Amino acid sequence: MRELYSTSVGAGLATFLGRCGNFWWGFELLDHPRGQYCLILLAAIAINRILFPRTRWMWVFLMPLALNLVLMLPLFFPSAIASPETTETLRVLHFNLDRHNTNFTGVAGYIEQTPADIVFLQEVTPTWLSEIESQVSRYEVRFSRPQNDSQGVALLVPVEPTPNPSTGPKLDPTRLPMKSNT
């Protein structure tokens, strides 16, 4: 029973200290597992109520439980903000090539099939860059910085603007103000 009380006190303290994240970053870490705090506090209250019905001090843990529920429950209900009827969407493909991967054809096929307005590639090596440029015809390399370690990057845009399903072909990512340095 001592473990139950210790865990409940810990969850209650963590609930309140998690709200003090502005004072120290360590308190901010306590702000994340609110669902687990709720489960611990609910279990402690229920077990205490069943085993010790006359003990009333355990109800003190209703306050941190209520605080956690007040902070969590709005996340489960949709907001009342309506989205505009016509919205432009930007489709982005962010792909980690894995510099040790040698499946050039599979990756190039995936990039070729994916309708994206902007393609970001990471872990781009000089070998990967030449394979992408030779096998992917739908996109052009607008910016690249290939490296032999895992720090290489590339930005690709469609050769022809892709039609946006919600608004038509208004979005033209090929007009990005970047020049290729390849």
For residues 97 and 122, the answer to whether their CB atoms sit within 8 Å is yes
For residue 53, give every residue at least 6 positions away whose Cβ sits within 8 Å of its Cβ, in sequence order, or none.
Answer: none
Are 168 and 112 contained in the same domain?
yes
- Residue 175's pLDDT is 46
Residue 180 lies in a domain: no
Count up the domains in the chain and report the number: 2
Residue 29 lies in a domain: yes
Burial class (CB in 10 A: 0-12, 13-18, 19+), 116: buried
Are 119 and 66 contained in the same domain?
no
Tallying the residues shown for the chain, one arrives at 182
For residues 155 and 142, the answer to whether their CB atoms sit within 8 Å is yes
Task: State if pTM tops 0.75.
Answer: no
- Residue 10's pLDDT is 85
- Residue 164's pLDDT is 57
- Residue 118's pLDDT is 94
**The domain that contains 151 carries what CATH number?**
3.30.110
3-state secondary structure 145-160: ECCCCCCCEEEEEECC
| Rounded Cα distance, 83 and 87, in Å | 8
| Rounded Cα distance, 66 and 73, in Å | 10
Which residues of the chain, if any, have pLDDT below 70? 1, 82-87, 162-182
Are 10 and 55 contained in the same domain?
yes
Residue 30 lies in a domain: yes
Are 96 and 62 contained in the same domain?
no
Are 99 and 171 contained in the same domain?
yes
| Structural domain harbouring 13 | 2-76
